[in-house]
Structure 1
């Protein structure tokens, strides 16, 4: 780098920096000041140590340059006094020759920058470049630290306010990697009835509802241990044994090495909303059950038939592995499987003898009638009822009606209701037939395996036939 380039670089770094130059020889002082003025905008001079120190006391300078041998107060003395006020003050010492005694004393004062007279421009620039670069870097570091400090204060205040907002509106818990509670807020204590000290370092099992399956919690833990966020609804028990429902989000907190430190859960008490929805659901369920009973009564079936089919379907669906929400839909919608019979003429529906071909074609229409009645509603429960009404007479081998759908193209609800409906019809006494015994019924089901019925469902049904027969006996007409 040329001298000009170095001076230009130096000038680009000195913005706002000030220099105090102390020199008793007027000519040298003026010449050096002229040079310093080409680089710095703020250069002050003094002709001796006393004058220089008085200037320094009025205001501090970024750089002090001083001669050693001066009258009244020499360079050693002014450096000592300046260092008493500002121990880290950068100082450049100039002398015609540095005696060992001066040199040792200056080193003890922390002076490491020296210039020998006559001063060479290159040497001056080199020394100033080193000092200015240090000052510039320190200023930038201080500015960055200040900004970081201000940002930290700002973010800390924001976080504190966010925390206050969350604490007011949500239940907050912190859990360690082993599942032990390390923090709960007031909302948790108010909701559960437990004091802070009663739950700290305890497992979340303290509020675990006994009806929630181990698989539910396994899925939850598998998710968060995989460093993913879990969302869901959790049923819990308060200290007094009452159920409360929370809509929870659980997030793993990671360190800078991507290791899990702990888990934060933010949840909202939705018990009241759950209870309202539950009441609405129960009302819908009772309505569908009543309508199903009315439909069956019209065709000289008993109301208990739709109850049994619903309970068979729920048990079979559970054994098959349907989720809780699907089971609920299946159980509640099952009573509507034959609702389409309200559109069938009494002369056909109530006929005592065997139906002729035209009558049979007519009664088959009840699947489409029921579907048309129910499909218009977008509610999940009525949509499930529409599927069941439409598909419960389809057969695995594709010989069923109304659309001759086969295999797994038949909705699982339709496949389950088909088996549950036929089983109940076989073991029940009707005006046109005697009740079949269990052995004959099982034989028929096995014969229709992969023909009328889903083979997997038949295997499950037969394996657990005693449970289904128990339901039948409990709700027998």
Structure 2
């Protein structure tokens, strides 16, 4: 790609972004402004911190680029004032070597990008490109999040309307103590396809769907014969062989002495509701998977990472004996485990080597960032995602973060994701390491049993290792 082509592509990402450039040297200021104007359509300049801060107060700037040593107000003071107004403002510092005493103070203010003077065009383009790409990706994440919320509201509105429509049609039957239907209303006949005479003579058995076990009906009868109301969903067969699902309430009718006379069943055909609910669930699952993939692109991970972690988590949930609804929740919410990394600076997130102590401290904040993004939702799926984002780095022995939880004080979702995420991280190449051999991974997981990982989960993982390696091979990067 030629320099001209690169600048053109760069300018597409930077479309609509405003730049504030503060530099006291006129020649440097004008030359750099000309360079920036090849990319940005709106570049404002100032010759000192006072002018720069006044310009910043007068409008919105996506990026601020400033020198440090300037008359009247230096760059450090201006950065402090800007950060007081907008702590998240992206700022690039241009600095000479003799100004290094200011750098730690600027880093503490949240500045992550620095350009050494004299400014080289290639370095300027590289640093600004990183910042613009980060802003562009953040905008896409925000747009996608807003769309996700809007779609969830839309789907919920549809669901409520379907419920209202279904409630209009109420199916009523009356059954005697032997289980014979002695009354069926028109709505029942219309839904089932049987006329009144057929259902009165043949009874409930002709409605039984093969998916409904005999134990289900035994428990139902046990409940209502004990004079308790039974409520639940029943899958039935229509006369034409199709299935329909009812949300049913069965209440024993008692005489004045407390004896059961018969049973009244009130049902609603919720077949469409079940289908719609499944569609909504699939939509939510796909949206969270895509959002998780967007987050992973910042750390140069592939979408297959979140897919694998979701698959491992689903399998662990099944092996652990979680309820079907919990398994669905952890499977769909798992891709959001590292969504908090969208708030980690690129300089730390993309560092190819080992993080130092301060960098690791910043990296660990992604658990709280992810939790803060998701915690205010009352949707079960996003609540599960919030738990996972918050607790997937906690350890069984209490040495994890952010809250040093231990044992079963860590939510089962967090314990499952912890094992699934580490297994995937070790078995795949990352920006900071190569994939480990499988025998080394297994050795580490066994060694971390009761320390990092829930012992029960490790035992299940080892007993079913072939299933996990099958997933890893199927969804390779």
TM over 0.5: yes
Distance 1:206 1:360 in 2: 62
Helix, strand or coil for the counterpart of 2:449? Answer: coil
2:39 corresponding residue in structure 1: none
* CA distance 1:272–1:341, shift in 2 (3 Å): same
Deviation at 1:397, TM superposition (A): 0.9
1:423 corresponding residue in structure 2: 423
* CA distance 1:330–1:215, shift in 2 (3 Å): farther
Helix, strand or coil for the counterpart of 2:287? Answer: helix
Equivalent runs, 1:43-442 vs 2, <5 Å: 169-175=169-175, 181=181, 183-196=183-196, 199=199, 200-204=201-205, 206-208=207-209, 210=211, 220-240=220-240, 242-254=242-254, 262-442=262-442
Deviation at 1:337, TM superposition (A): 0.6
- Structure 1 residues 183-192 or 370-379, which shifts more? 183-192
Distance 1:423 1:181 in 2: 56
Distance 2:213 2:461 in 1: 23
* CA distance 1:215–1:440, shift in 2 (3 Å): farther
Q: What is the CA deviation profile of residues 23-77 of structure 1, one whole-angstrom value per residue up to 9, with x for unaligned ones?
A: xxxxxxxxxxxxxxxxxxxxxxxxxxxxxxxxxxxxxxxxxxxxxxxxxxxxxxx
**Is the contact made by 2:248 and 2:265 (CA closer than 8 Å) also made in structure 1?**
yes
Distance 2:439 2:179 in 1: 51
* CA distance 1:356–1:316, shift in 2 (3 Å): same
Distance 2:235 2:424 in 1: 35
**Is the contact made by 2:351 and 2:432 (CA closer than 8 Å) also made in structure 1?**
no
Task: With the length of structure 2 as denominator, give the TM-score of the two structures.
Answer: 0.58
**Is the contact made by 1:181 and 1:202 (CA closer than 8 Å) also made in structure 2?**
yes
Helix, strand or coil for the counterpart of 1:397? Answer: coil
Structure 2: unaligned runs, 5 residues or longer: 1-166
Helix, strand or coil for the counterpart of 2:362? Answer: helix
Deviation at 1:424, TM superposition (A): 2.1
Deviation at 1:197, TM superposition (A): 5.2
- Alpha-carbon RMSD: 3.0
Bigger radius of gyration: 1
Helix, strand or coil for the counterpart of 1:295? Answer: helix
Distance 1:214 1:390 in 2: 43
Task: With the length of structure 1 as denominator, give the TM-score of the two structures.
Answer: 0.58
1:118 corresponding residue in structure 2: none
**Is the contact made by 1:232 and 1:247 (CA closer than 8 Å) also made in structure 2?**
yes
Q: What is the CA deviation profile of residues 239-266 of structure 1, one whole-angstrom value per residue up to 9, with x for unaligned ones?
A: 4454433221122345677565654321
Distance 2:242 2:405 in 1: 47
Instruction: Report how many residues are paired.
Output: 310
Structure 1: unaligned runs, 5 residues or longer: 1-166
Distance 2:395 2:217 in 1: 38
Equivalent runs, 1:7-18 vs 2, <5 Å: none
* CA distance 1:179–1:426, shift in 2 (3 Å): farther
Deviation at 1:392, TM superposition (A): 0.8
Deviation at 1:410, TM superposition (A): 1.1
Deviation at 1:427, TM superposition (A): 2.9
1:466 corresponding residue in structure 2: 466
Distance 1:464 1:407 in 2: 22
